[in-house]
Amino acid sequence: MALPVAFFALFFAWPVAAIVTRGLKADGAWRFGRIVDVVTQPDIRHVLWFTTWQALASTALTLLLALPAAHVFARLDFPGKQLLRAVVTVPFVLPTVVVGSAFLALVGHNGLLDELWGVRLDTTVWAILLAHVFFNYAVVVRTVGGLWSQLDPRQEEAARMLGASPLTAWRRVTLPALAPAVAAAALMVFLFTFTSFGVVQILGGPAFSTLEVEIYRQTSEVFDLSTAAVLTLVQFAAVGAILAVHAWTVRRRETALRLVDPRTTVRRPRGFGQRALLAGVLATVAVLLLLPLAVLVRRSLDGRGLGYYRALTDSDGGTFLVAPVQAVWTSLEYALAATAIAVVIGGLAAAALARRDAGRLVRGFDALLMLPLGVSAVTVGFGFLIALDKPPLDLRQSWILVPLAQALVGAPFVVRTMLPVLRAVDGRLREAAAVLGASPWRAWREVDLPMVRRALLVAAGFAFAVSLGEFGATVFIARPDNPTLPVAVARLLSRPGELNYGQAMALSTILMVVCAAALLVLERLRTDRTGEF
């Protein structure tokens, strides 16, 4: 636990505390009365209410649409499965401003739905909810599907032989085993939608605003740092309460599971029910995920062929100090470094948390690990600039600052992906290895690692994908001569002109293709080198 605790203390707790202190402390005195003044304002109460209920609605809708897909990817084998799994994950790494723009092109004025049927949804909350499902679909598919594929199907088959219906067997046997993974996925979706920024900023307009949007507005437009600090504390308190409830409920339902090689649990669809389920999932993926991506590609080619892509190799000396295409290589380098950091930090934390004899202090750190997903990325970005500007941690001019910020978001995904599998490993296997003379390190390498290798690869893929698309904190700390892809897209979108918009869509398409390629490679590695159980 030493390294994870030190990492989150230095690069999360300290920066957040620095920005909150600056906002609530004036002339050496604390202004706690400012908290009451802010939260009692009618417009702030409206923001709090909308933030909460849209996050709950988005989480429920995402689970409803994505859980069938998790089953399909975990249990069924069909042509193009690896490619489709990679495609499903692509929306999650797109910058939220791009997701908002893609849905605006679908449901907004002169959008695809408007052109075909005269339907507009950009003035309703449905556009926000569907965009959130588009963004978080992969979280449920990969987090729940990763554990589902390793559950022994013979347990459910035994219930069927004893007279249970398929639904009853799933509800009484499989669902309780999946509960920790479902809860983890729901928690991540809720945190991402609770702190939604780019999607609400573009699709919500003046009628809808989340806490994250309001924090950004108070910081960058109104320059009221004290109000932003209060809203950050409110967000922090709400997320902390949710994480505490989650840790308590999930811990009560955990149990040792029988895990098997995922390659032995998949089979071709059999019967009308399985074929209908597969067809329904494919149709949902096509309409909800592929259609917005197709609109994105179309916008990158509108009227100019590859002209927007060729323009990426030129530097105008205005928006960027380098050619925009340089952002591709910069993002890949940063994402690889951030993935390495996240896997080490998250892997160590998950290994410590998985121990059955872990004390309350260690188990409490489980909830704290998720806080970076629920605290304003705007706050973290500003906090980096304020807190990490003096020796011995003067990192403002260092390239490592961006990977550190990205790893803060990637590490919780590593923990949440690996923890259910690590806790499901039967402790008697480790005890048997110890009795045979294996050291603790060798027991972990010979017993735990083969079982969690698949989860580790999934976690690495998630961390890499999240790092590629991280925007909220990176936009404040990325150097002008080394912009990441999301930062480059946002800067191009902020400038008027058809060429800038086309280049933004072209960069977004490149980000989409790079992510799909990386995830496809991960799928092949995971399939070929999972190991024996």
pLDDT, tens digit (0-9, with 9 covering 90-100), for 186-227: 988 998 898 888 788 778 767 788 888 888 788 777 777 788
DSSP 267: B
pLDDT given at position 531: 36
Residue range 101-124: mean pLDDT, rounded: 74
Q: How confident is the model at residue 364 (pLDDT cuts 50, 70, 90)?
A: low
Inter-CA distances, 508 with 5, 221, 293, 328, 406, Å: 35, 26, 10, 10, 18
- 271 Ramachandran zone, left/alpha/beta (phi>0; psi -120 to 50): left
Flag whether pLDDT at 59 surpasses 90: yes
Residue range 172-194: mean pLDDT, rounded: 85
Cβ–Cβ < 8 Å for 39, 234 = yes
Strands 389-390 and 393-394: antiparallel
Residue range 39-44: mean pLDDT, rounded: 86
The two structure tokens encoding residue 31:
């202004």
pLDDT given at position 491: 80
Residue range 21-25: mean pLDDT, rounded: 77
pLDDT given at position 523: 63
pLDDT given at position 64: 94
CA angle 515, 341, 489 (to 5 degrees): 40
Cβ–Cβ < 8 Å for 109, 120 = yes
Cβ–Cβ < 8 Å for 23, 233 = no
- How far, in Å, CA of 384 to CA of 476, rounded? 9
Most confident of 218-227, 470-479, 500-509, 515-524: 500-509
Q: What is residue 30's three-state secondary structure? A: strand
Q: What is residue 224's three-state secondary structure? A: coil
- How far, in Å, CA of 76 to CA of 265, rounded? 8
The chain-wide mean pLDDT, for the chain, equals 80
Most confident of 112-116, 182-186, 527-531: 182-186
Residue range 497-517: mean pLDDT, rounded: 81
- How far, in Å, CA of 126 to CA of 103, rounded? 11
The two structure tokens encoding residue 258:
């029988």
Calculate what percentage of the chain has a pLDDT beyond 90: 11
Residues contacting 310, CB < 8 A, separation 6+: none
Flag whether pLDDT at 66 surpasses 90: yes
Q: How confident is the model at residue 533 (pLDDT cuts 50, 70, 90)?
A: very low
The two structure tokens encoding residue 531:
């190991």
- How far, in Å, CA of 385 to CA of 369, rounded? 22
Flag whether pLDDT at 160 surpasses 60: yes
Most confident of 53-57, 234-238, 323-327: 53-57
Residue with the larger pLDDT of the pair 337 and 459: 337
Calculate what percentage of the chain has a pLDDT beyond 70: 88
pLDDT, tens digit (0-9, with 9 covering 90-100), for 336-346: 999 999 999 99
Q: What's the number of CA atoms in the CB half-sphere (13 Å) around residue 426?
A: 9
- How far, in Å, CA of 150 to CA of 144, rounded? 10
